[in-house]
Amino acid sequence: MECFYFKKNMKSAIILLVMMTIFSTLKLEAGRWFLEDEWSLEQYYKFKRNYEELQNSKSKYQLLADTTARKFDVIIYDITLDWYELLLSDSTEKEKRFWNGKNDIKLVVKEDNLDKITLDAIGLEFLTISVDGDLLQTTPQIVDDVVDIPLVTGVKAGDTVRIEIEYVYKNKENMGFFLFYKDEVINKANNYKIEEQVAYTVNSPNYARYWLPSNDRPRDKAKVSMTIIVPENFTAVSNGYLDEVLNIDNENEGEVGKKIFKWKDDVQIATYLVNATASVYKQYLGKFKSPNIKDSIELQYYVWESDYNGKDFKAERKLRKTPEMLEFFSKKFIDYPFCKYGQAVVYPFIYGAMENQTMTTLHRHLILQTAPSETTIAHEIAHQWFGDLVTAISWDDIWFKEGAATWSEALWTLEATQDTNKYYSYMQEEAVAYKKNEKIFTKPIYGNAPELIFTTDYVPLTYNKASWVYHQLRILLGEELLFNILKELLEEYKFKNVDASIIVNFFKEKTKDMELEVSLDKFFEQWLYKAGHPQYEINTNLIKKTDSTMDVHVTLTQIQSGENVSEVFETPAFICFYDGYKPIDMKRVLNNQKTQEFYFEDMPNITRVNIDLARTLCENKKLMVKSISEKECKLNVYPNPAMQSDLLYISNLEENIKKEDIQVFNILGNKLDVNITNLSNSAVLDISNLKDGAYYIFVAGKMLNFTVIR
């Protein structure tokens, strides 16, 4: 049984294994991921993160990780979406999914004599394109998933260019833009249906290009204005604040009028976080207080009327802790950085939730009264800092946001329960989900090919193992120092982008004058850039001293192997001592050698030893315990203490003892180079190079201690 210093909840562990088994029953339908009708809610919400950033293996379009920067930066997207006719229609015919859009783009050129602007676009027909007010006589169209817009000659670096595009959305499948019709039954087992017509966008990781011509890559953040035209009984929501709402009566009497919602975001946003959602919603409001901001910040909730406090769906109850979560993370990180926080519930939805900047999209099943959805809601809120405020330059660093948000689930669990054990238990469950998939043992978190990053096998690295990067930094640096560094990182790079090198160098700079157990170079090398984790063989000798005490000799050997896997991980390890299944004690040691000896004197009686799996990402692969009587260990070492002596003697040696059977260690567990002579029934050790202090001698698995005093 894997050991945990505190008593482990076996019921939770069993449920976890069952949930992971159920996850294997996922199927792919109509170009998107869905669960079978008869699915487990517990499984769905625990593993909702597996739905994010997945590659759609049935799609003919390759999902790319856009790592290169183009020769321009977008400053503003001013977007108009006309969904009026679309939302009035009750037709499910794919040909009726068309709608008109406009995108007025302001950008800055970064290179002299740039001759074209290349934008990402898929499945769109361009009607007109103007450059700086001049209509192009020939309207470019999409070739190989991009559109090239020519520029006049003589453009210089630093020049501002305005591009106005009128287009028609023509994608027939739900990709990037999603449309579902009222009364369609989605979950046959429970007869859950779509209560109202609903349209929304989902851009992560790079699906904005399916409905919006844009520079669709995380590194190019821009301000966004969003105008959405819908029928008068609909509500349309987006990022930022609601600037204006216009009501327009229909010219034909008796026909439904139009409502125009104008949203603005005055801070930069990545394209994968831009969102537009519309349905017949009930809106209700709330507020929360960020520590150092004078005024309260508005909360907006958008749900179907029947779901506010219905029989099965209870939005008001399930989302009630939103302000507490925002206040907690505002204290733990930095003040909430945006003008509002909104949550819009949709159904169906390909992900469990999506952290669009200031306007998170939630799957309807998160508001089921029986749903364990609290940590999912916390996860998406944490993304407002990690991912939204500070964004990765490319998808190579998806670990930065998903690891932080997953770790934040455990932080919220600790805050909500005030139970430290539950924090560690939560992190142990994250480790279980990662270690279960043996295929990824030799894959690092960072630096994998794009075709691997967005696959289900990789997800436990992106989320689960990446959360342990933060968790183990908390153990290595301590609570106060870690959060001080994170706060400074968020402040320095707010509304900007980072990559792994920026993050690593930032941590190193903030700790450059400190002596750490493990250097941050080594820490990030083994946990981020290399693969795997320590796998331990643990040999324990229990040396009985009295009826109630014993000395314990523990030998840790790291036995992991494989491509990209560190031969020796340098890490704090927490050795757990048990009497049966009852935890007795735990000792923190620095494990930095492939084989390392540790000795603990006058311990209470114990029966087994292993490494705590909630504080070190590792596996206990082989555990061996041997009881030895004190008489068996009664070798004689003299002089002890060795006062001004350069020689140490060991007597009563067994026959056939060789030099390599005798090893000397300091109290940190480091093996020392000591010359040994005159082996027979005794040995002579040259200790002239040893300084004052306590030392240990291991002779064929038996241990002696001695002290040097100069």
Q: What pLDDT band is residue 27 in, cutting at 50, 70 and 90?
A: very low
Query: Contact 176/210 with Cβ under 8 angstroms?
Result: yes
Is residue 184, in this structure, part of any structural domain at all?
Answer: no
pLDDT at 47: 39
Confidence check: pLDDT of 43 > 60: no
Give backbone dihedrals phi and psi of 375, rounded to 5 degrees, phi first: -70, -30
One domain for residues 235 and 161? yes
One domain for residues 554 and 702? no
Say which CATH number the domain at 544 has: 2.60.40
One domain for residues 242 and 347? no
Mean pLDDT is lowest, of 306-320, 482-496, 539-553, for 539-553
CA distance 663 to 227: 75
Confidence check: pLDDT of 107 > 90: yes
- In which domain, by residue range, is 482 found? 16-57+390-529
Say which CATH number the domain at 301 has: 3.30.2010.30
Q: What pLDDT band is residue 103 in, cutting at 50, 70 and 90?
A: very high
Say which CATH number the domain at 159 has: 2.60.40.1730
CA distance 637 to 293: 67
* Count of structural domains within the chain: 5
Is residue 178, in this structure, part of any structural domain at all?
Answer: no
Is residue 153, in this structure, part of any structural domain at all?
Answer: yes
Is residue 180, in this structure, part of any structural domain at all?
Answer: no
- Mean pLDDT over 155-183 rounds to 94
pLDDT at 65: 43
Confidence check: pLDDT of 646 > 50: yes
Position with higher pLDDT, 316 vs 62: 316
pLDDT at 36: 35
pLDDT at 15: 27
Confidence check: pLDDT of 452 > 80: no
One domain for residues 162 and 124? yes
Q: What pLDDT band is residue 650 in, cutting at 50, 70 and 90?
A: confident
- Mean pLDDT over 685-710 rounds to 85
Position with higher pLDDT, 13 vs 139: 139
Query: Contact 459/49 with Cβ under 8 angstroms?
Result: yes
Confidence check: pLDDT of 33 > 50: no
Is residue 83, in this structure, part of any structural domain at all?
Answer: yes
Q: Tens digits of per-residue pLDDT, 662-697?
A: 889 888 778 898 998 877 677 888 998 898 888 888
- Four-point Cα dihedral 213, 215, 216, 222, nearest 10: -110
pLDDT at 18: 29
What crossing angle do the helices spanning 420-435 and 398-417 adopt, rounded to 10°? Answer: 150
What crossing angle do the helices spanning 374-382 and 322-332 adopt, rounded to 10°? Answer: 40
One domain for residues 263 and 289? no
pLDDT at 379: 97
Q: Burial code of 270-303, b = ≥16 C-beta within 10 A, e = fewer?
A: bbbbbbbbbbbbeeeebebebeeeeeebebbbbb
Domain boundary (579, 607, 628) is at 628
Mean pLDDT is lowest, of 50-54, 256-260, 287-291, 400-404, for 50-54
Question: What average pLDDT does the chain have?
Answer: 87
One domain for residues 490 and 577? no
pLDDT at 451: 67
Q: Tens digits of per-residue pLDDT, 210-264?
A: 999 999 999 999 999 999 999 999 999 999 999 999 999 988 877 899 999 999 9
Query: Contact 440/461 with Cβ under 8 angstroms?
Result: yes
**How many CB atoms lie under 10 A from the CB of residue 484?**
13
Domain boundary (628, 663, 679) is at 628
One domain for residues 105 and 210? yes
Position with higher pLDDT, 371 vs 280: 280
Confidence check: pLDDT of 34 > 70: no
- Mean pLDDT over 324-341 rounds to 98
One domain for residues 138 and 237? yes
Q: Tens digits of per-residue pLDDT, 511-532?
A: 999 999 999 999 999 999 999 9
**How many CB atoms lie under 10 A from the CB of residue 167?**
23
One domain for residues 608 and 655? no
pLDDT at 626: 87
Domain boundary (603, 628, 653) is at 628
Position with higher pLDDT, 694 vs 391: 391
One domain for residues 585 and 523? no
Is residue 63, in this structure, part of any structural domain at all?
Answer: no
Is residue 1, in this structure, part of any structural domain at all?
Answer: no
One domain for residues 301 and 394? no
Residues of the chain above pLDDT 70, percent: 88
Is residue 705, in this structure, part of any structural domain at all?
Answer: yes
Say which CATH number the domain at 647 has: 2.60.40.10
One domain for residues 81 and 102? yes
For the chain, first and last CA: distance in Å?
Answer: 47
Residue 706: C-alpha distances to residues 549, 550, 596, 672 (Å): 20, 18, 18, 14
pLDDT at 56: 41
Say which CATH number the domain at 33 has: 1.10.390.10
- Mean pLDDT over 381-395 rounds to 97
